[in-house]
Amino acid sequence: MTLAEKVGQMMQLDGRADAVEQVEKYAPGSLLHILDERLVPALEAAARTRLAIPLLIGEDGIHGHSFHAGATIFPTQLGLSTSWDPSLLREVARVTAREMATTGAHWTFSPVLCIAREPRWGRVGETFGEDPFLIGELGAAMIEGYQGRGLSDAEAVLATAKHYAGYSETQGGRDASEADLSVRKLRSYFLPPFERAARAGCRAFMTGYNSMEGLPSTANHWLLTEVLRGEWGFSGVVVTDWDNVGRLHWGQHIVPSLVEAAVVAVRCGNDVIMVTPDFYDAAQQAVQLGLLAESEIDAVVRRILRLKFELGLFENQRPPDFEAQRRVIGCEEHRSLALRAARECLVLLKNDGVLPLDAARRFKIAVVGPNADDDVAQLGDWSLGASQYPPAAGKHPRGCTVTLLDGLKAHAGAGEVLWHPGCSVTDSDLSGVAVATSLVEAADLTLLVLGDHIVYTGETRSTATLELMGGQKALLEAVAATGKPFIVALINTKPLVLPSAAFRANAIIECHNPGMLGGTAFAELLFGDINPASKLTMTIPRHVGQCPIFYSVLPHRHGDNYADLEFSPAFSFGFGLSYTRYEYSNLEIVTPSLSPSEALVIRFDVTNVGERAGTEIVQAYLRDVVTSVTWPERLLVAFERVTLGAGEKQSLRLEIPYDRLSLVDAYEKRVVEPGEFEIQVGSSSRTEDLISGRFNVAGDMNPLARIPGVLRRK
């Protein structure tokens, strides 16, 4: 291969911009955002290049085949995470891969393994929430689903663990800015989900836009080479995010030109350069100037070509299969899974007994609120209609999506449904509030559907506030003032701060962005066809001033509350109600004294003390009583979904691996320190929802020796 051909293999270019011309000019290794009929000429052009190396085709399949009209769109990652169900996420990813593969895509830029502890950040909805362990387990399941029986599986796609690392922890939630993260903090919370992904066989990692301690992720040799490849044994490819190499020069200003940026990118451990066209000349110039050895390029290209061989692209380029598309995309089997996913992403936050509704009663229901019939808001970010494609690209066919209004109309039976949006999320026009309120006055019950809007969601779209925008607060207050029964439903990308009037509702349901069948699942929940089981994976604050707020806080602070507000959130991590109740009892520590590397084994009973069957998400948390460094008072170490009939009791046994008892010490090493621990088991992260017991880890280490500088060392 010539140097130009080698550098070309590192290029990933935007296929929306004259793909054939780009293939003929650069002979790139990869294109993205090009599928179906538009892809075929590009594949043919690649076959005409001197070496005929096949193209690797990438596309954003984030919660379904996002940008293919009519594809099955599932709840967003945050919504899916509230299922606490790895098997569901594995199936969702498998279906997504199957639909993508028919359109010529080989590679999805998913899952997102960022930790969402700052709800003002615009990309919260793309995450699995705030807990590292849960993120790792759900992410690994999606990776297994995407990659199927192996990358040579014609129905599989290459998964990507992103954004590596710390991207979500930027100052004030401002997208892509500096993240104030030490190495110890990274190792404690932000790297474990990525390590889990690497060990689960993920073959691609994507760098973040952020910088840490002055180094952009794309320029962080320690992160990309020493940790990812050296410590974790990763042998796949690292892809930059969009023009990350270019922004080393024009955005973050750490190099004087793109030539030096190319040197940094290659030497620090990047392989595929996403949409930086000038990298082609810059990298070649760097070699000609002696700033970069051609052998360094060779090492990168070997990894890229090895991946293409693993995918089987030299034998089968996997072009679009239009007949398979007609059978596979949006098929009934896939929509059934989307409905199951939607059912598992609805979290019941409050219920005074109004739910479930009596299906035999002829209700007159008023449906008001701007998100009740907004199909784009329901699908959420990373789907047609969102910011990633221009409006000219259109949106998913309206008939594919069942909105909350659609679902309620279909389930209302002989009842009557009255409908008016009342207001907008994006402007403060209140002219519709009076009309909506008149419907409320005329109805037996009101469904008020609020939330956020696609213009406040995604990349570059962090928000300074978490409050209801537009005319929503005025509409809420008007509905509450009627004194009539009402239910609040939230269609939103991330946690929102609810005003006091919302808590006057008889019920509150967090729907997230529930996907195409969200309206059907919602109506089933209202009328009791399903029993809600989902639990929050991200804390909901009372006020934006509490942020960042998350359950795994460090011990000790002055005062039990703010001077003007309590510390506690509106709704805690792990919280979610059901139409039945569960009790925990008889916790037994089977292994009260652990030897090094011995698993912790516990037993306890869970009883359904209600009158209907349901599924409980059992959560186990760990507290290390005395630690050599400050460490969270509570960290999730295990979870399990348990289905129980009315009155049924099950005895559960959990085995918690020894390494989950670990912390990261002052020397930045992950260790299990000897001493006393507490295991807590229950229905949420709230203290009042947990039962606990203590055990010991054997060892004779002097606790003073764990703190640097305290004892003299020979």
Per-residue confidence band for 242, with pLDDT thresholds at 50, 70 and 90: very high
Distance CA 277, CA 297 (A): 17
- Report phi then psi at 506, rounded to 5: -75, -25
Task: State yes or no: pLDDT of 711 exceeds 80.
Answer: no
Residue owning tokens 């209004």: 405
CB atoms within 10 A of CB 612: 13
Looking at the structure, tell me whether residues 75 and 203 fall in a common domain. Answer: yes
CB atoms within 10 A of CB 383: 31
Tokens at residue 80, please? Answer: 């899916």
| Mean pLDDT value across residues 478-506 | 98
Looking at the structure, tell me whether residues 376 and 318 fall in a common domain. Answer: no
CB atoms within 10 A of CB 450: 28
Beta strands in 532-669, from DSSP E residues, in sequence order? 582-589, 593-594, 600-608, 614-624, 635-644, 649-656, 663-664
CB atoms within 10 A of CB 504: 15
Residue owning tokens 């009519």: 70
| Mean pLDDT value across residues 258-284 | 98
**Given phi > 0 = left and psi -120 to 50 = alpha, else beta, which region is 424?**
beta
Looking at the structure, tell me whether residues 398 and 301 fall in a common domain. Answer: no
The residue that leads in pLDDT, 277 or 360, is: 277
Taking the complete model, does pTM exceed 0.85, yes or no?
yes
149 within a domain of the structure (yes/no): yes
Tokens at residue 523, please? Answer: 């109506």
Looking at the structure, tell me whether residues 461 and 603 fall in a common domain. Answer: no
114 within a domain of the structure (yes/no): yes
| Residue 176 CB contacts under 8 Å (≥ 6 apart), including other chains | 167, 170, 208, 209, 210, 459, 460
Residue owning tokens 């690649």: 46
Q: Are 32 and 59 in contact (CB under 8 A)?
A: yes
- Report pLDDT for 709: 85
Q: Are 23 and 9 in contact (CB under 8 A)?
A: no
DSSP letter string, 9-45: HHEEEETTTTHHHHHHHH--SEEES--HHHHHHHHHH
Distance CA 352, CA 130 (A): 28
| Mean pLDDT value across residues 240-244 | 98
Query: Considering only CA atoms, which of 619, 348, 397, 650 is closest in space to residue 505?
Result: 348
| Strand 416-420 with 364-368, pairing | parallel
Query: Considering only CA atoms, which of 195, 202, 206, 261 is closest in space to residue 228?
Result: 195
Q: Are 62 and 79 in contact (CB under 8 A)?
A: no
3-state secondary structure of 457: coil
Which CATH number belongs to the domain containing residue 313 in this structure?
3.20.20.300
Q: Could you give the maximum distance between any two Cα atoms of the chain, in Å?
A: 84
- Taking each helix axis from N to C end, the angle separating 258-268 and 279-288, rounded to the nearest 10 degrees, works out to 80
Looking at the structure, tell me whether residues 382 and 308 fall in a common domain. Answer: no
3-state secondary structure of 182: coil
Looking at the structure, tell me whether residues 586 and 520 fall in a common domain. Answer: no
Tokens at residue 620, please? Answer: 């186990």
Query: Considering only CA atoms, which of 288, 442, 340, 268 is closest in space to residue 95?
Result: 340
**Radius of gyration of the chain, Cα coordinates, nearest whole angstrom:** 26
Tokens at residue 254, please? Answer: 């750490």
Tokens at residue 98, please? Answer: 């199957």
5 within a domain of the structure (yes/no): no
Tokens at residue 90, please? Answer: 């594995």
CB atoms within 10 A of CB 628: 21
Per-residue confidence band for 533, with pLDDT thresholds at 50, 70 and 90: very high
- Report pLDDT for 171: 85
**Given phi > 0 = left and psi -120 to 50 = alpha, else beta, which region is 476?**
alpha
Distance CA 399, CA 489 (A): 22
Distance CA 572, CA 540 (A): 6
Distance CA 267, CA 287 (A): 12
224 within a domain of the structure (yes/no): yes
3-state secondary structure of 79: helix
418: exposed, middle or buried (Cβ count in 10 Å: 0-12, 13-18, 19+): middle
Count of positions (residues) in the chain: 714
Looking at the structure, tell me whether residues 254 and 197 fall in a common domain. Answer: yes
691: exposed, middle or buried (Cβ count in 10 Å: 0-12, 13-18, 19+): middle
Whole-number Cα distances in Å, 235 to 58, 148, 308, 692: 19, 18, 13, 42
479 within a domain of the structure (yes/no): yes
Looking at the structure, tell me whether residues 319 and 363 fall in a common domain. Answer: no
Looking at the structure, tell me whether residues 320 and 358 fall in a common domain. Answer: no
Question: Can you say how many angstroms the Cα of residue 438 is from the centroid of all Cα atoms in its chain?
Answer: 40
3-state secondary structure of 687: helix
Q: What is the pLDDT of residues 44-66, one digit of tens each?
A: 999 999 999 999 999 999 999 99
Looking at the structure, tell me whether residues 451 and 516 fall in a common domain. Answer: yes
Query: Considering only CA atoms, which of 567, 584, 582, 585 is closest in space to residue 647?
Result: 582
Which CATH number belongs to the domain containing residue 619 in this structure?
2.60.40.10
| Mean pLDDT value across residues 318-332 | 97
Q: In the predicted model, what is the mean pLDDT of the chain?
A: 96
Distance CA 180, CA 171 (A): 7
Whole-number Cα distances in Å, 141 to 370, 651, 658: 35, 26, 22
> 8-12, 135-139, 216-220, 457-461: which has the minimum mean pLDDT?
457-461
Q: What is the pLDDT of residues 72-97, one digit of tens each?
A: 999 999 999 999 999 999 999 999 99
Looking at the structure, tell me whether residues 198 and 146 fall in a common domain. Answer: yes
| Mean pLDDT value across residues 375-395 | 92
693 within a domain of the structure (yes/no): yes
Q: Which domain holds residue 478?
A: 354-538
Task: State yes or no: pLDDT of 712 exceeds 70.
Answer: no
Tokens at residue 656, please? Answer: 């918690």
| Mean pLDDT value across residues 519-529 | 97
CA count, 13 A, side-chain hemisphere, 159: 28
Q: Are 486 and 440 in contact (CB under 8 A)?
A: yes
Which CATH number belongs to the domain containing residue 528 in this structure?
3.40.50.1700
324: exposed, middle or buried (Cβ count in 10 Å: 0-12, 13-18, 19+): middle
CB atoms within 10 A of CB 659: 11
CB atoms within 10 A of CB 680: 22
What is the tally of structural domains in the chain? 3
Question: Can you say how many angstroms the Cα of residue 349 is from the centroid of all Cα atoms in its chain?
Answer: 21
Distance CA 163, CA 174 (A): 15
Q: Are 377 and 334 in contact (CB under 8 A)?
A: no
Q: Are 607 and 586 in contact (CB under 8 A)?
A: no
- Report pLDDT for 713: 53
Q: What is the pLDDT of residues 633-652, one digit of tens each?
A: 999 999 999 999 999 999 99
Looking at the structure, tell me whether residues 392 and 516 fall in a common domain. Answer: yes
439 within a domain of the structure (yes/no): yes
Distance CA 114, CA 173 (A): 13
**End-to-end Cα, the chain, rounded Å:** 56
The residue that leads in pLDDT, 347 or 556, is: 347
Tokens at residue 1, please? Answer: 């291969």
496 within a domain of the structure (yes/no): yes
Q: What is the pLDDT of residues 657-708, one digit of tens each?
A: 999 999 999 999 999 999 999 999 999 999 999 999 999 999 876 777 788 8
What 524-527 contacts at long range (C-beta under 8 Å, 24+ apart), as own/partner pairs, is: 524/343, 524/407, 524/411, 525/343, 525/346, 525/348, 525/355, 525/356, 526/355, 526/356, 526/357, 526/408, 526/411, 526/447, 526/487, 527/356, 527/357, 527/359, 527/411
Whole-number Cα distances in Å, 212 to 53, 178, 665: 37, 6, 20
